[in-house]
Every structure is written in C-alpha cells, then in structure tokens.
Amino acid sequence: MTEETTGRSPGRKLGLTMLIAVLLAVPLFSVWLLVYDRQSQSETARASIAAGWGGPQTMAGPLLVIPYRTTITETVTEANRPVVRSRQIWQELTLSPESSAITTAIYPERRKRSIYEVVVYEAKVSGRSRFALPADLSRFGVAVADMALDRAELRFGLSDPRGLAGAGPRVSIGGRLLRLQPGGGAPATNGAGFFAWIDANALPGAALVADFAYEFRGNGKVALMPQGGETRWRVTSPWPHPSFQGGFLPNERRVGKDGFSASYRVGHLSLGQSLVATGGAQPVPSERMAPPLIASDGPSRGGYDARIDLVQPVDLYSRVNRSAKYGFLFIGFTFLALLMFDVIGGVRVSAVEYLLVGAALVLFFVLLLALAEVIGFTLAYVAASAAIVGLNTAYSAAVLKSWRRALLIGALLTGLYVLLYVLLSLEDFSLLIGSLMLFAALAAVMYLTRNLNWSARPGAHPVIE
C-alpha cells in the first residue's frame, strides 16, 4: 500500500468509501437501462410471435338492429322564401337482449422463439340471448308498423376478427342456421366482428331467442363488454395464473393449480345504458327500403368491461429491475464491512480495491439478467450470486490477508443475496424488512465505532477502548 493510503484518517477513509459508492451509481444506472432495453426487445419479439394468431380479444353483443322509417320536417329556402318540407328517412333501432348467458372455455398455449415466450390461446364461446320489444316502445318515437322487421340484423362484436377459427361462427334462431357476413360488429368493438340478416316479424308478439357458438384465437387477455338487461358470463380455463381486471369483477371465482373458473352477473342498471337506442339516420332514396347499414351508433356500453388477463407467473425483467434497486444496499453493506476491517482491524484497503469489489457487485445484476433469459430467474439468481460471492471472497482473502476475514465477507454477501431473494418474493413487506436491515447495520456500526476517533491524525493508529 502507498503512504497516501495508509496516512488517511478514519473520517477521510469513510469519505473516500462513500465517494466510490456514489461513482458506482453510474454503472448501476446503466444496468437499469439495460433491463429496460431487453424488456422492450422481449415485447417486440413476443408481438412478432403472436402476429397472425390474433391479438387481445374483446367480445360484445349480440345486438339486434332493426331499420325503421320516420318522417322529419326541415326548412329550406327557395326563391328567397322559407319553405317547410317533410321527407322520410331510415333510422336504426338498436335493441340489447333482455338476457344473455355466455360460456367461454379458454385453452392456453405457450409459444417460444429463441429465448422469448408468449402465451396464446384458443377460446370456444357458446351462448343464448333473448330479445323482446319493450312495452313502452312508443316513448322512443318508433311504431311497430314503421319497422322493417324482415331486414333486421343480429350483430356480434369481436375486436380482432382475424382470430376467428374452427368451422366458423354458428348462429341460429328457432333451430334455423343463419348466413353470416363479415364486419358490422358492435360499436364497442368499433364495428369489428360479424352479423347476419334475420326476419324478426315474430318479434312483436313473442320473444326472439338466438343461439350462437364460435371459436377464436388471441393472446394476452379475453374481455367481454356486457350489453344486455342481464348478462351471465362463465369462463373456465386450465391456466393457473389469471388476473381479473376491468370494470366488473367475477361474482364467484376459483383459482387452483389445475386452472380457474369465474362467473359474472351484470345488470343493465350498472352499465348505465338503456336496452333501446335509436340512431344511424339515413335518407330513403325511393319507396323501396335502402340496403341495411353495417355501421350503427348503437347504445353505449358505459365504459365498462369484464377482462381476464392470462399473466405469466414470473416476469423476470420486473424482478431483475427490482433487485437492481437494492444494488446500493449490497455496495453499502460490503463497503461497510471492508471499512470496519480497515479502520478497526488495521488492514489497509485501497480505493482501487473498493472499486473492484463494487464492480463485481454491479456485475451480479448483469449476470442475473443474461442468465435469467436463458435458464429462468431462480436458477440464474443462484448461479450469479454464487459466482459473485466466490469471486469477492477470494479477492477479499488477498486484500485482507486472511481467509477468516474473507469468509466473513462471503458470509455477509450470502446473507444479503438470500435476504434479497426473500424481499423479491415478499413484495408487500420489502420496505419493512429493508428498513430493519438498515437499522441493524447502523446500530452495529455505531456500536463498533463508539470509541473511534474519526479525526485522528494521519499515521496515528485508531485505538478502540
């Protein structure tokens, strides 16, 4: 060691140690940027794996849309004189079902490309919806005689119709299969989906019951936008890690190792919408009815949905990022132990040695990230921590001139890595445990240095009574 190193007072040694620790914040911050960059690359790779399979899917409907004729009056100017004229236009009556019972079975599948993995799924949907004209239909300014019941449409919304799979959707009324058309879905899915023309002439005197079944593919999430007087939705899947999100949570749910099941029950009062809505005004070009419209303003869904996310059980990037946030604790505790050997044990530790030990501690997080992408987080954590503990222990034996002292450093690092893994597993108590660690470390330093003269003259050996 140089004289400059051995001649520093304990206070100056403490200041130098803190300065080196602050300088190590630069590579530690670079680790956070590296984690963010790798996470962005992972999301891009996962999107490319799922491309063409189907995106996150949202279901809506069915809705019954019936054109009706109405008369409007308007004032126009002819020969500088206002003239009142009447003309007929076609509008659309959008009717939500009085009740809907929908069952969805989700079958997940893991897809991998290189080191990246994404969860995709196939879903099978079946259900029954019951439609009826309200008794107070006249309040909406619509008469049954003005309705073109033989040109009604039954509309189903699906946010990404590319995912429609299997033999195709099957919709029937009274046991008769309907011919389906692309597009014309529910407004909640921006018109994406499919529809069928139906004859609803029996509707004024009786209810109309539609049975439907279809299959689709998607990834990430499945959502339903309730649009009925009463919507019952039952979902089952062998995926053991669901996350229930959205504006509605299940009334009943069961989650286990063999999968999950959930049951929803949503009423139209909680949706904040009427079962009947009018809109989509279009002119009537002649006495014959205009072709049915695909787009419709329809009723609003009220901004709520019931959503189930198929989450990955371990998000390694978030866990690596969280572990890197504890990097200063590792550096601080290790430097503190070296400082105690320096100022109390009389073993001189130079600035370069502090810097090399700190660099090894920062390297742990890079190793953890690189290995976790290949072998998983837990195995990567064990391998990376073992490598850094072994490296710093061997180096400390040379610096501290004693394997006994080096083993104390190794034991300290091992305890820190074990504690960090516990902190990552017990996220809710991480702040409490971290605070207790800092308190214990501060108390130990205060006790060990209670008689230490921090401003001792250079060259003087500090004495502990």
Q: Is the pLDDT of residue 449 over 70?
A: no
96-100, 157-161, 356-360, 418-422, range with the lowest pLDDT: 418-422
Mean pLDDT of the region 39-64: 81
290 pLDDT higher than 50: no
Does the pLDDT of residue 314 top 70, yes or no? no
Looking at every residue in the chain, the average pLDDT score rounds to 78
Classify strands 230-237 and 259-267 as parallel, antiparallel or unpaired: antiparallel
pLDDT in tens, 109-157: 888 777 777 888 999 999 999 998 887 777 777 877 878 888 888 999 8
pLDDT of residue 285: 40
3-state secondary structure of 184: coil
Q: Which of 431, 317, 313 is nearest to 380 (CA)?
A: 317
**Is residue 262's pLDDT more than 90?**
yes
pLDDT tops 90 at residue 5 = no
Amino acid at residue number 336: L
What is the predicted pLDDT for the residue at 235?
Answer: 94
Q: What was the pLDDT predicted at 428? A: 60
Give strand pairing partners of 196.
Answer: 154, 180
Average pLDDT of the segment spanning 366-385 = 86
Lowest mean pLDDT among 20-29, 114-123, 177-186, 270-279: 270-279
The predicted-structure confidence for 193-224, as pLDDT tens digits, reads as follows 898 888 888 778 788 889 999 999 888 889 99
Which pairs count as long-range contacts for 110-118, CB under 8 Å and 24+ apart, including other chains? 111/49, 111/50, 111/53, 112/49, 113/45, 113/48, 113/49, 114/45, 115/373, 115/374, 116/42, 116/45, 116/46, 116/49, 117/46, 117/312, 118/46, 118/49, 118/50, 118/219
Average pLDDT over residues 9-19: 76
Give the pLDDT confidence score for residue 434 in this predicted structure: 67
Give the global pTM. Answer: 0.68
pLDDT of the residue at 457: 54
Kindly tell me if the per-residue pLDDT of 280 is higher than 60: no
The residue with greater pLDDT, 290 or 423, is 423
Q: Compute the distance between CA of residue 104 and CA of residue 264 in angstroms, rounded to an integer.
A: 12
pLDDT at 2 over 60: no
The label of the residue with tokens 């490296």 reads: 391
Mean pLDDT of 332-357: 75
Do the beta carbons of residue 400 and residue 346 sit within 8 Å?
A: no
> Can you give the pLDDT at residue 430?
62
Q: What is the pLDDT of residue 289?
A: 36
User: For residues 22 and 105, what is the distance between their CA atoms, to the nearest angstrom?
Assistant: 54
Q: Give pLDDT, residue 455.
A: 60
Model pLDDT for residues 153-197, shown as the tens digit of each residue: 899 989 888 888 767 789 998 888 888 888 877 777 777 889 888
Q: What residue type is 431 in one-letter code? A: L
DSSP summary character for residue 147: B
280-287 own/partner pairs: CB under 8 Å, 24+ apart: 280/91, 280/92, 281/89, 281/90, 281/91, 282/89, 282/90, 282/91, 283/87, 283/89, 283/90, 284/69, 284/87, 284/88, 284/89, 284/90
